[in-house]
Structure 1
């Protein structure tokens, strides 16, 4: 499981000219799954996302998590996070979960992150052609891979 976490001033996702998810100050999370991802991966990454201290405190030091700043979270599925560019110039997505499995993983992950946040999150629409807009704050962008827990 891979995620890209971006600290944002605001973010939204639009499908067919309709906003399906929108947040103000908080985190935009792009998430991609592979077949081996399981509940342990969902729990570990959700906890990391909610507890990442990447928001400024009163001394302008990144020392607060999303809950401490009353931030919101927008989660968008993105299978291209598992692109392999090792050979040639056309990315391979062989490691990405097949759509049926990935949709179940996405639904499960959303419930885990909501439980960890103690609040409702905003989302895109799985498998849709989505337009994502954001104002990256900092910029602060973090990449996490559950298979490479650094």
Structure 2
């Protein structure tokens, strides 16, 4: 499981067909990639890591507050292309990416855990859709988490 986490002051994801839009203010944009071997245990670990990751500044401008601490939101967007292996040739290989049903199941599990166990408001993109994502990255602060 791979997550690219970005600290944002606002973000939005939109899909043209069918018409869909989701947005947040202060919080995290999480681009989440589910890989073939990922499990429910990985989903629980990732949800906990996202919830507790201290990437928001305190009064001394140190990274010392989590999205929970600042009462921020999460915009969770599935992005299988993070599994793309570009080491050979010029076309990425997605052999390590999860099959769609497995990917959807674990993305839904991460969303559920963030909301129910960590009490974070979560907005999502649309699974397997071509999306337009816009955001204001604060810092910029971007982190890669792998499990």
Give the C-alpha shift of residue 115 in structure 1.
2.4
Deviations 1:30-52 (A, max 9, x none): 00111211111111111111111
Contact persistence 1:20–1:125 (CA under 8 A): no
The corresponding residue for 1:79 is 80
User: Match of 2:142, SS?
Assistant: strand
The alignment's TM-score, normalised by the length of structure 1, stands at 0.92
Contact persistence 2:8–2:135 (CA under 8 A): yes
The corresponding residue for 1:14 is 14
The 5 A counterparts of 1:1-150 are 1-16=1-16, 18-146=19-147
Hey, what's the Cα distance between the residues in 1 that align with 2:5 and 2:74? 10
Stretches of structure 1 lacking an aligned partner (at least 5 in a row): none
Contact persistence 1:114–1:120 (CA under 8 A): yes
Give the C-alpha shift of residue 141 in structure 1.
0.4
Give the C-alpha shift of residue 19 in structure 1.
4.7
Deviations 1:2-52 (A, max 9, x none): 000000011110001745210001100000111211111111111111111
**Could you say what the CA RMSD is over the residues aligned between the two structures, in angstroms?**
1.3
Contact persistence 1:12–1:19 (CA under 8 A): no
- Which piece of structure 1 moves more, 34-43 or 77-86? 34-43
Deviating beyond 2 angstroms after TM superposition, the runs of 4 or more aligned structure 1 residues are: 17-20
The alignment's TM-score, normalised by the length of structure 2, stands at 0.94
